[in-house]
Amino acid sequence: MAAQLALQDVSLQFGGIKVLREVSFTVEPGSIFGLVGPNGAGKTSLFNCISGHYTPTSGTVRIDGNEVQGARPATLARHGLARTFQHPALQLHATVLENVLLGAHTRLPGGALEWSVRTPRTRRAEKELRAEALELLERNELGWAAHLPADELSHGLHKGVELCRALLMKPQLLLLDEPAAGLPHAEVEHLIATVRRLRAEDDITVVIVEHHMGLIAALTDHVVVLDNGAKLMEGTAAEAQSDPRVIEAYIGKDGADDAA
């Protein structure tokens, strides 16, 4: 079941540097939500606060009403959160299937001792998760690569493998960090279709950090624009693209091409 994400007055400070300034918004269950802004706006830092890689200096992060700020990523996974990264962190000499199975660590029964002796329960769970990972790869048109080393795949396919790994965690809330970065146009169109299918078939909430405004416009129900660590505006992607403050922020920092 899709989860709600709610941030209230989230701030982040490193020494005397204010990275985030009282950012608040709510992502409704089952929606596709965009987090956009020029380079240095604080998007990735905010993602890190949501996903447990940073602890906010102040403010609250809630998943379905449960306060989770400061929780470790493994704890957040039990709240239904999974995340991809701008640069996929794959084990390049492991197979694609082995990389996807790394996403199953939060679903494994028993403790380290049980897994070290490989009880019938752990062997059964491993077999089931392997079958599920293969099915995910097939659904995402990567079944053919399951037994290939990850380093034989392109950058775009690495992103697909990382997405399958996140989906194996059975997320209710999926964070996608610049999923279109480095992808050619055809692969961006495929990504848009994939995210739409995930929302329809898997009943999850999706939050996307992205510079590719075409993707944001095609996918999102709602966006928040950050600038200098603060919320500049909130609304639809169309409203953001026509907002003079947003246009000025992009042109002033990233150039006119980023606002297109």
How is residue 104 written in tokens? Answer: 């199953």
pLDDT of residue 252: 64
DSSP 3-state assignment of 208? strand
Q: Are 23 and 198 in contact (CB under 8 A)?
A: no
Residues 6+ apart with CB under 8 A from 220: 32, 33, 34, 208, 236, 237
Express each pLDDT in 36-87 by its tens digit: 988 889 999 999 999 999 999 999 999 999 999 989 888 898 899 999 988 8
Q: Topology of domain 1-80+171-260, per CATH?
A: Rossmann fold (3.40.50)
pLDDT of residue 185: 86
pLDDT higher than 90, residue 137: yes
Kindly report whether the global pTM for this prediction surpasses the value 0.85: yes
Q: Which of 33, 24, 70, 34 is nearest to 50 (CA)?
A: 70
Count CB neighbours of 190 within 10 A.
16
What stretch(es) of the chain map to CATH 3.40.50.300? 1-80+171-260
Q: What is the mean pLDDT of residues 169-180?
A: 93
- What's the 3-state SS for 204-219? CEEEEECCCHHHHHHH
Q: Are 46 and 230 in contact (CB under 8 A)?
A: no
Looking at every residue in the chain, the average pLDDT score rounds to 89
pLDDT of residue 247: 87
Q: Phi and psi of 221, rounded to 5°?
A: -90, -30
pLDDT of residue 115: 62
Q: How far is CA 172 from CA 34, 152, 184, in A?
A: 17, 31, 29
